[in-house]
Amino acid sequence: MAKAYLREGKEVHRVPVSFRLNGAQVSGFAGESVAAALGALGLTTLRHAPRSGDARGAFCLMGVCQECLCRIDGARREACRTPLRAGMEVETLG
């Protein structure tokens, strides 16, 4: 079990979990947002704009911009508002 410490000195335990990202087994921490987990893995491009083809990724991190949409367990969801849990299936939208 990994540990982290907040600035206030409170100890926080982070529980590592495995999930699938575009078919590959990867890991993150239970309860962090899927967007945070993908960012920690270095994945910032979650899709491409349909007209320009520009890379798009999480921007507002609070459910407003819709730039973080991914297919999560078979449904299109905002990665920034979806807590990570073990066994999730996450697919970027290309």
List the one residue out of 10, 9, 26 whose CA is nearest residue 18.
26
Contact flag: residue 55 with ligand FES (CB under 6 A): no
Binding mask of the shown chain, residues 1 to 20, with x at each position contacting ligand FES by CB under 6 A: --------------------
Report DSSP letters for 62-75, one per residue: SSSS-TTEEEETTE
Contact flag: residue 26 with ligand FES (CB under 6 A): no
Contact flag: residue 93 with ligand FES (CB under 6 A): no
* Token reading at 9: 């000195």
DSSP 3-state assignment of 39? Answer: helix
Nearest CB to ligand FES, comparing residues 64 and 86: 64
Contact flag: residue 21 with ligand FES (CB under 6 A): no
